[in-house]
Structure 1
Amino acid sequence: MPARSTRIHGTRGTHGTFTATQTFDFAVELEATLRRLGMHRAADDAAAVQRELAQPQPDREQISARLTRIAQAATAVAGAATAVHGPLAALAQWLGALGAPVLGLLG
């Protein structure tokens, strides 16, 4: 995956610079963590995020919808929120304003 870089300016203080490799790595970490936790549907969503991130122009709305579902599932399972918080929050921040619902669920 090429290391193209994206500068994010969003709401709620969400901003940062991420390379395509970093965002993809966050999604890989998220999927692996979810699979270890036995959250296979959420892990499938994380795998779909990886596929979308591999596209030249990732569909941020689609990624946002998937991350929102992952956040809802993770917060519903005791302990899972802690395990996935870091990579999930990082991916939501990468989305900028579209990641706000995910960040809101994470608190």
Structure 2
Amino acid sequence: MVFNIGNQQAGVVNNVGHDQHVHDGQSGQVVAGQVELHGLVEDLRQAVDGARLPSAVRPEVRTELTAIEQEAARPEPDKEAMADRLSRITRLLGSAGAAITAGTGLFGAVSALAGWLGTAGRPVLHAIGL
């Protein structure tokens, strides 16, 4: 059997010619470039800017966002540091009553960036119900 497979990007790709038995699940990570990361961070900034946050929380959220942007600008961003800041943002947004639920801009932006962070972003994904 011959496989002729072009470019594939996904969390897990199984190209199987015969039987496949999977035990204990599968996981994977798509590695995206810097351009995508900057877009994800910008999407998060726009979603936060569009949310009606109380004035007491807004500066803290923006401080965390600025730190994420600075980390994203590095040649090799520290995913753990970014995930910690994203986690703080989600807690601040939640405490402010901002809905981070499916179908909202905040949910999409937070989950997309957390997904890009891979393993480091899993706690954030769990916190928002994924």
Does the TM-score normalized on the shorter chain lie above 0.5? yes
In the TM superposition, 1:18-29 aligns within 5 A as 18-29=32-43
CA positional deviation for 1:85:
0.9
Taking only aligned residues, the RMSD between alpha carbons, in angstroms, comes to 2.4
TM-score, structure 2 normalization: 0.64
CA positional deviation for 1:79:
4.1
1:104 is aligned to 2:118 = no
- Match for residue 30 of structure 1? 44
Deviations 1:20-68 (A, max 9, x none): 1111111112122213323332122122111111101111111011011
* Rounded Cα–Cα distance in structure 2 between residues aligned with 1:84 and 1:14: 24
CA positional deviation for 1:106:
0.6
From the two aligned structures, give the one with the greater strand fraction: 1
Q: May I ask how many residue pairs the two structures share in their alignment?
A: 99
Relative contact order higher in (CA < 8 Å, ≥ 6 apart) = 1
- Match for residue 56 of structure 1? 75
Which blocks of at least 5 consecutive residues in structure 2 are unaligned? 1-8, 12-25
TM-score, structure 1 normalization: 0.76
Identity of aligned residues (%): 26
Report the CA distance shift for 1:61/1:106 in structure 2 as closer, same or farther (over 3 A): same
Specify the structure having the higher radius of gyration (Cα): 2
* Rounded Cα–Cα distance in structure 1 between residues aligned with 2:42 and 2:35: 10
Q: Which runs of 4+ in 1 moved over 4 A?
A: none
Which blocks of at least 5 consecutive residues in structure 1 are unaligned? 1-6
In the TM superposition, 1:1-107 aligns within 5 A as 13=27, 15-37=29-51, 38=53, 39-81=58-100, 82-107=104-129
What secondary structure, in the 3-state scheme, does the structure 1 residue paired with 2:30 have? strand
CA positional deviation for 1:14:
6.0
